[in-house]
A and B are shown apart, each in its own frame.
Chain A
Amino acid sequence: MDTRANRSHEKNEHHNMTMQLDLPDIQGNIIRAYGRFGFPKARFFFLRIDDGDKGRAFVGTITKRVTTSVSWGPPPKGVIPKPKAPINIAFTYNGLKVLGLPRASLVGFPQEFIMGMKQRKAILGDDERSDPKYWDKVWEKDQDVHVAMAINGQSIDDVEDAYQWVKSRIDFSEGGVVLLTGHRGDNGQEDLPFQDASALYENDEPCAKEHFGYTDGIGDPVFEGQITDEYRVLGRGKLTREGGWARLETGEFLLGHPDEAHEYPQAPAPTLLSSNGTFMVYRKLHQNVASFERLLDAHASFPGGRELLAAKLSGRWRDNGAPVVNTPDAASKAAWDQRFAGADERTQDGMLADFRFDLMGDKCPIGAHIRRINPRGSLEFGQDGAYDTPGALDDRRRILRRGLPYGVVRDRGRDDGNHGVIFMALNASIERQFEFVQQQWINYANDSKEGSDKDVLLGNSDPHGDCPSKMVIHVDPKSSGQPPYFVNEIPRLVETRGGDYFFIPSMTALRMIAGGRVDPT
């Protein structure tokens, strides 16, 4: 037989087809960002387990209602009806310990997960007003938070119904499981038992914007096995040397599958405990809305105006998310807007997601937020072939973005109040993915050759002192005849208000944990 032809056939098949994941085994929030699927409301709450037996019984009951990744909607595509309020569950290291995981399993977890978010504050840059001593009270005793639960909903009533059911199961545990209070709320509360979150609304319709006015989550990665329209791979997967886009390897986001290095991610034994699970970063990020507005005002002299400056800071225009690399001035933006308005949904998606950055940064600054957190192959800095693929460095630093905004901004002239983002990042390695992005690309800029400049939107900036935080907005000196523009005295626009690292087990693992049947031998 012709082996060469066979091999080439296999290769093509691998290239074109996406692998089949065991969707009923994977929790639903891993595969889908619920916010995009008609669930604009969410409630997050945290539990302490005081009794292992009762805790395991609780996990067993909850597991029966946990939303998996099976497709919903009308057949044949949908397998189940669309849930009104998906429920998901995750655990801290201390939680897994209290639930009785054997030592031989516990030692297999990565160090950063064992330590928890507070202990990693030096790496994350959680200093000054982001220091854990200013966090919501629920995080006060970090050994207390054992379980994270998330309820998303088509409406707040759907969320409330599911929440009441979970609460009845907590009550049923007779003190074995304790609902932790201590979330700050809209009306000055300090001791709420849950954190509510909601999409913001534009013209009475939920939208994907956050409190600064930017559209969030457009570039969320797409990986092998994820059920999604194929065109969404463009701009969201990994760059190939030929300039195309391919799905990222599953193991970047799901344990028990090969990752971009063709290795299995570090995971605890036994395989059944870790496979199809992943790690979740939960962070409550307060947004200093007034400081943001004042920063834009302070640079009213920026050539091109306030909205172009806002677009240069993030890499996207605030009104419709247009990537500034393709719309670097008023004329190109107007043309883009016109094309966008007349385009079908699929074309619009491509216009928002499918782009690469310019070499010199005169269109999209090298320090712009979306360029820092996802450089899209631009770290080769024009040296084609520097890496195996243009994005070989970024492909290992991608994170799945989940979560929603919280609170309302009542006065854009004030920083205080209760408004921000519940930021959730899902990845196979918190240290290699989320923490690296936070430490190296948000709070430092050696990789992007921007010195010690920090990400304007998320960095732990210091506007005072001898070297106040700044950002360079590049120009093309030849065509513009202008000097670069410096945004200086950048205030800290986002402050951490709480969070921790969690493990999201597969359904199989949940049943093993509930049954006390985790056997690493």
Chain B
Amino acid sequence: MFSSNFHGGLDTYLRGMWSAISADVKRIWEHCVAFDRVQDAEGFITYIKRCQLTANLFFVGSTDDSLEEQLKALYLKQQFAKFTVSHQGLGAAKVQEAFRAFIERVQPNHLAAPTWTPGQIDPMKKTSTTT
């Protein structure tokens, strides 16, 4: 079973999948019935829609906010946690001054940047060194 959470329309999503990772898509579906007749993005969309099931109980792992908003929210939450920890114990005036600088830096109303990058679970984590 293939299941996915995404933001936007199904056609756009599937077309994007085909254009970005068509080699992987072919490897995953190659043994499935009638997939050999899928030749292009439009064929893939038709194929997936014909195989689509209606789910009455479905776990939605995300909100209705756009991906941009969700990434910005995660970024802000993480940055704010860091801010609170690093300014613990300072006087009110100093915290307020630092907070103004913090807001200036993280730009809460500016969705595009600074923010997390799509597809990264934890952008702060360095590349794992374990093999």
Q: Using CB atoms and an 8 Å cutoff, list the residues of chain A in contact with chain B.
A: 127-128, 131, 301, 451, 465-467, 470, 483, 485-486, 488
Contact = CB atoms under 8 A, between A and B. Distances in A.
B78 A467 contact: yes
Contacts of B78: 467
Contact of B85 (A128, A131, A301, A470): A470
A488 B88 CA distance: 10
Contact of A486 (B77, B88, B125): B88
Contacts of B88: 483, 485-486, 488
Nearest to B126: A465
A465 B124 contact: yes
Given A127-B130, A131-B130, A301-B89, A486 B124 contact: no
Contact of B124 (A127, A466, A485): A466
B11 to A, nearest CB: 33
A202 to B, nearest CB: 35
Task: Name the prevailing secondary structure of the A interface residues.
Answer: loop
A467 B89 contact: no
- Taking each of B82, B85, B89, B122, which has the highest tally of chain A beta carbons within 10 Å of its own beta carbon? B85
A122 to B, nearest CB: 10
B81 interface: yes
A364 to B, nearest CB: 21
Contacts, number: 28
Contacts of A486: 84-85, 88
Contacts of A301: 89
A358 B84 CA distance: 24
A483 B82 CA distance: 15
Nearest to A467: B124
A465 B125 contact: yes
Closest 7 CB pairs of A and B: A466-B124, A486-B85, A488-B85, A467-B124, A486-B88, A470-B85, A127-B130
A360 B82 CA distance: 22
A474 to B, nearest CB: 13
A97 to B, nearest CB: 29
Contacts of B86: 488
A199 to B, nearest CB: 36
Interface in B66-111: 77-78, 81-82, 84-86, 88-89
Contact of B82 (A127, A128, A467): A467
A206 to B, nearest CB: 40
- Taking each of B86, B124, B130, which has the highest tally of chain A beta carbons within 10 Å of its own beta carbon? B130
Contacts of B124: 465-467
Nearest to A122: B130
Given A451-B77, A467-B82, A467-B125, 7 more contacts: A466-B124, A466-B125, A467-B78, A470-B81, A483-B88, A486-B88, A488-B86
A345 to B, nearest CB: 43
B83 to A, nearest CB: 11
Contacts of A466: 82, 124-125
